[in-house]
Amino acid sequence: MVDQLTSAQQNRKRIHAVENSFGPSKKTLSQPGRILIGEGKLMKQSRRGPQPKVFFLFNDMLVYGSIILNGRWHKKQQIIPLEDIQLEDLEDSVTMRNQWLIRTPRKSFFVAAASYEEKQAWMEHIEDCKSRLLQSDSYRPNSTFAVTWIPDSASAICMRCSDKFTVTQRRHHCRKCGFVVCGACSKKRAVITHIHPTKQLRVCTRCHPSLMMTEEEAQESCRLRGDSTGKTGSDEDDLEVSSQEDEAEERMEDHDPSKWMDPQTGSWSPYVYLKPEHLRPQK
């Protein structure tokens, strides 16, 4: 009983520390039954290239953010419920080794670990926690996911009209297909319900027609229910997709190692992130 109490206190202390690391803009993470399973640094592929991000795995959600100072100060907190996540293992690419794909309804992105063992540990723990979560009747997995954006550097021309990008001819992304397109080819807006139920998002000229019927049906459904369609936003207002989120952050030179907790026993295993010489946790 004493060991269980000590473990619970340590867990609350760790969650509180993660919460505070995001500063005044943080969302509350402490909740009854929530366990901090582990943390570590991963490279996240953004529109401007791979960027280091800190990730925290809980038994019911994945939290990540940008690194500010020595792994202790973070910003731009993002929270993803585990039931909304789908993982896909990937082969190494030229720019990213030990990578995999994280799909969610609102955003999908590539991440990479420092070693193959670390990658396997991340994926196995996420899948294990998700599996346990979905055993409850109150959770249902999602089946619709956002596409991954093609990085800016992948194309010097618009992927619809082939016009060259310049200082004035800026790159944009279609929220439906993820292609890099120019402003003229992405003037249209449409609702993509799994990203946002009412917001008008930027889409390219090719994707727009296929979305119109879906949008009209959604608006009619809201009208019949008496719901407000809400304010439509500009490209800069899009949820979790502003260019500021993926801006280059200061790279930290070191990171505090963290340990994994076994969800079954509640004890901390010897696995230490960012230390490839350690083995993954034993089940």
Domain ranges, residue 110: 2-144+253-272
Confirm if 202 and 186 have CB atoms less than 8 A apart. yes
Q: Is the same domain home to 160 and 195?
A: yes
pLDDT for 247:
33
Does 245 reside within a domain? no
- Amino acid identity of residue 19, one-letter, is E
Residue type, 39: E
Outline where the chain has alpha helix (H).
Answer: 2-21, 116-134, 208-225
Same domain, 195 and 120: no
Burial of 248 (0-12, 13-18, 19+ CB in 10 A): exposed
What 8-state DSSP symbol labels residue 148?
A: B
Q: What pLDDT is attached to residue 120? A: 93
Sign of CA dihedral 229, 231, 234, 235: negative
CA separation for the pair 279, 209 (Å, rounded): 51
Residues 133 and 266 occupy one common structural domain: yes
Question: Residue 70: its pLDDT value, please?
Answer: 62
Query: Please, which residues have CB within 8 angstroms of residue 145's CB and are 6 or more apart in sequence?
Result: 86, 103, 104, 105, 108, 194
**How much is the pLDDT for 136?**
75
Domain containing 170 — which CATH number?
Answer: 3.30.40.10
Distance, CA of 92 to CA of 151 (rounded, Å): 17
Instruction: Provide the number of structural domains found in the chain.
Output: 2
CB of 31 within 8 A of CB of 11? no
Query: What's residue 240's pLDDT?
Result: 39
CA dist list (Å): 270 to 38, 131, 153, 237: 11, 23, 39, 43
- Phi, psi of 24, deg, nearest 5: -65, -25
pLDDT of residue 57: 94
Same domain as 140, residue 112: yes
Same domain? 83 vs 190: no
CA dist 213 and 219 (Å) reads 10
Task: Output the pLDDT for position 219.
Answer: 55
CB 70 within 8 A of CB 252: yes
Which pLDDT tens digits describe the chain residue by residue (283 residues)?
Answer: 334 455 788 888 899 999 999 988 778 999 999 999 989 999 998 877 888 999 999 999 999 999 887 657 898 999 999 999 999 999 988 878 999 999 999 889 999 999 999 999 999 999 999 998 888 766 676 667 788 888 887 889 999 999 999 989 999 999 888 899 999 999 999 888 878 888 888 999 999 988 876 555 555 555 555 544 333 333 333 333 333 333 333 222 223 333 444 444 444 333 333 333 333 334 4
For residue 55, being part of any structural domain is answered with yes
CATH number, domain at 41? 2.30.29.30
The pLDDT value recorded for residue 265 is 47
The verdict on 80 and 195 lying in the same domain is no
| Residue 278 identity | H
